[in-house]
């Protein structure tokens, strides 16, 4: 060992320090200072990371999985859906759709906060009673689409919205012109992962250019549900794919450091119930009481919509139809009840529009109406029924800074979601059918 070592035989006195010894102490002090500084910076980072933000404004991503019946989240391992549930707020017994529980009326109710008679999309297909024009799911003329959808509301508040598919999003209305950079014309063949990757690319923009509101839509598991009903393995596989695509979205947000800043709302538009040929009602069975020409019927099932000519009293049609259905001589007649639309249960909110035909028939869960017997033997799935049926319920999960972790809330109607989003974004909402106080019962106070 060298003479400068602690074991040196030469005595070491406090007033006798070699230059090498002093250098060693200085080195130790420098290293210690570096460790202390690093520890301080790490402590500062972790103590402030919960409040540090990369986005200069709130962001909401509204994701829809078409036909995601409440309970599907338990049909297969769904780690990503359950991550959102555990880290956010869930409607404990599902989200309640509006009536009729069909795709277009419900998607548009979600983004307008209006019941179908008020936003105008009263069915997937219907007629203008004045002009005779027919609305289809490819109709983009603004005359059909009333109310103020969220993308229009966001634009009116001088913020940016982006839509990767949503019924009504291609309609040029008010300040919204479906901008090419942030609005995708509907194309069902676009792979789900491409949709997610496009949405993620918005977060690669300069932070002040990231859209405040983004929609993202997937057709599954509705497609499979119509083919096989809600209980087939095809549904299980479709739910697994939806969970995986949500995982892709979550991972992409995490990689960009914004997952815990973004408000991610995952919903469906309606549920699904199994149907089969033994659950059919045939209108031609009512011929002894009333002949119902096909051109009177605007929609057969699961919501029967009839508009007789002006020369025929709708009340007479309703009375004769119900007389036949109650006779015991019509197959499954007790499973259909026909109403004048103004006599429908008020809870359905389905009378205040001229677009709604004057006669509406409600069928029991899982039953269908057809004009005549065909001899086909098919089983599948359907929706559109009374929204009181639990099978029509769908899912609601909210995850993000304003949603409490692990919280369960009672079921609510989807018209409330509009106000939730405008509250998160802190923008002025348009008049709607939701409760202005509803967000206060669901959201945490803004920081």
| Residues with catalytic roles | 103
Cβ-proximal residues to 256 (8 Å cutoff; 6+ apart), any chain: 54, 200, 203, 204
Query: How does 162-198 read in b/e, with b if 16+ C-beta sit within 10 Å?
Result: bbbbbbbbbbebeebebeeebbbebeeeeebeebbeb
83: tokens are: 């991550």
256 contacts 345 by C-beta, under 8 angstroms: no
Q: Sign of torsion, CA 284 288 294 299?
A: negative
Residue that has been written with the tokens 């909401």 in this structure: 60
365 φ/ψ angles, rounded to the nearest 5 degrees: -55, 125
DSSP state of 69: B
24: tokens are: 């060693």
What is the H or E stretch that residue 120 is in? none
Bridge partners, 95 (sequence order): 394
Helix ranges restricted to H, 162-294: 192-201, 222-228, 233-255
How many CB atoms are closer than 10 A to CB 97? 29
Of 257, 244, 170, 164, the residue nearest 211 (C-alpha): 164
Cis peptide bond upstream of 221, omega within 30: yes
Cβ-proximal residues to 322 (8 Å cutoff; 6+ apart), any chain: 337, 338
How many whole angstroms separate alpha carbon 122 and alpha carbon 108?
10
How many whole angstroms separate alpha carbon 439 and alpha carbon 263?
14
CA of 198: how far to CAs of 169, 251, 297, in Å?
Answer: 16, 14, 42
For the chain, what percentages of helix, strand and coil (3-state, to nearest 5) are there? 35, 15, 50
């Amino acid at each position: 060992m060298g003479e400068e070592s602690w074991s040196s035989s030469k005595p070491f006195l406090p007033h006798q320090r070699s230059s090498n010894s002093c250098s060693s102490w200085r080195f130790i002090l420098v290293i210690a200072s570096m460790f202390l500084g690093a520890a301080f910076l790490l402590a500062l980072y972790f103590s402030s990371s919960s409040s540090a933000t990369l986005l200069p404004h709130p962001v909401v991503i509204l994701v829809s999985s078409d036909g995601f019946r409440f309970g599907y989240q338990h049909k297969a391992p769904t780690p990503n859906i359950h991550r959102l549930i555990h880290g956010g707020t869930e409607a404990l017994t599902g989200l309640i759709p509006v009536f009729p529980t069909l795709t277009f009326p419900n998607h548009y109710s979600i983004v307008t906060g209006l019941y179908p008679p008020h936003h105008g999309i009263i069915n997937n297909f219907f007629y203008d009673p004045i002009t005779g024009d027919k609305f289809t799911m490819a109709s983009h003329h603004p005359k059909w689409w009333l109310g103020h959808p969220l993308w229009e509301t966001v634009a009116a508040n001088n913020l940016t919205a982006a839509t990767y598919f949503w019924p009504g999003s291609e309609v040029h209305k008010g300040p919204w012109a479906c901008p090419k950079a942030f609005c995708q014309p509907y194309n069902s063949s676009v792979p789900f992962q491409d949709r997610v990757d496009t949405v993620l690319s918005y977060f690669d923009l300069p932070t002040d250019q990231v859209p405040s509101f983004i929609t993202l839509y997937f057709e599954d598991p509705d497609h499979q549900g119509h083919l096989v009903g809600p209980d087939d393995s095809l549904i299980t596989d479709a739910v697994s794919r939806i969970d995986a695509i949500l995982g892709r979205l979550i991972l992409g947000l995490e990689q960009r450091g914004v997952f815990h800043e973004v408000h991610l709302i995952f919903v469906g538009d309606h549920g699904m119930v199994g149907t089969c040929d033994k659950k059919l009602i045939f209108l031609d069975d009512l011929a002894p009481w009333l002949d119902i020409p096909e051109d009177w019927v605007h929609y057969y099932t699961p919501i029967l919509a009839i508009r007789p000519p002006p020369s025929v009293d709708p009340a007479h049609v309703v009375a004769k139809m119900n007389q036949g259905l109650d006779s015991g001589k019509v197959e499954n007649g007790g499973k259909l009840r026909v109403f004048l639309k103004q006599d429908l249960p008020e809870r359905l909110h389905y009378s205040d529009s001229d677009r709604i035909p004057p006669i509406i028939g409600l069928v029991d869960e899982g039953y269908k109406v057809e004009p005549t017997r065909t001899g086909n033997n098919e089983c599948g799935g359907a929706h559109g029924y009374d929204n009181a049926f639990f099978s029509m319920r769908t899912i609601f999960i909210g995850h993000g800074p304003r949603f409490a972790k692990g919280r369960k809330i009672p079921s609510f109607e989807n018209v409330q979601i509009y106000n939730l989003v405008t509250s998160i974004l802190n923008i002025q909402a348009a008049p709607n059918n939701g409760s202005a106080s509803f967000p206060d019962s669901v959201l945490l106070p803004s920081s």
